[in-house]
């Protein structure tokens, strides 16, 4: 899980252990890029849902589906610029 404030500390460990018998494993603090769905949702929030002036849920659904088609067609690989040497 990520390092959001609701996922940190002993309280989170206690809840996870009590409910699911799981132990939380966190991503590195400065590694949000590891979770690609969060990157995608951030793009959707900025490019599709803001501003949020929709007349109906059908309009939201239509815009999201059209953006998804556009994003899949336009997406290209990119080069990471981070290295341990920098």
pLDDT for 39-59, tens place per residue? Answer: 788 889 999 999 888 999 999
Sign of CA dihedral 34, 32, 81, 46: positive
Residue 30 has pLDDT above 80, yes or no: no
What pLDDT, on the 0 to 100 scale, is given for residue 67? 95
pTM assigned to the model? 0.52
């Amino acid at each position: 899980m990520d390092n959001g404030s609701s996922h940190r500390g002993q309280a989170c460990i206690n809840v996870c252990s009590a409910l699911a018998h799981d132990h939380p494993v966190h991503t590195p603090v400065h590694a949000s890029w590891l979770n690609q769905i969060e990157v995608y949702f951030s793009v959707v929030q900025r490019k599709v849902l803001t501003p949020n002036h929709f007349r109906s849920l059908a309009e939201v659904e239509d815009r999201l589906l059209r953006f998804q088609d556009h994003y899949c067609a336009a997406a290209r690989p990119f080069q990471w610029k981070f290295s341990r040497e920098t």
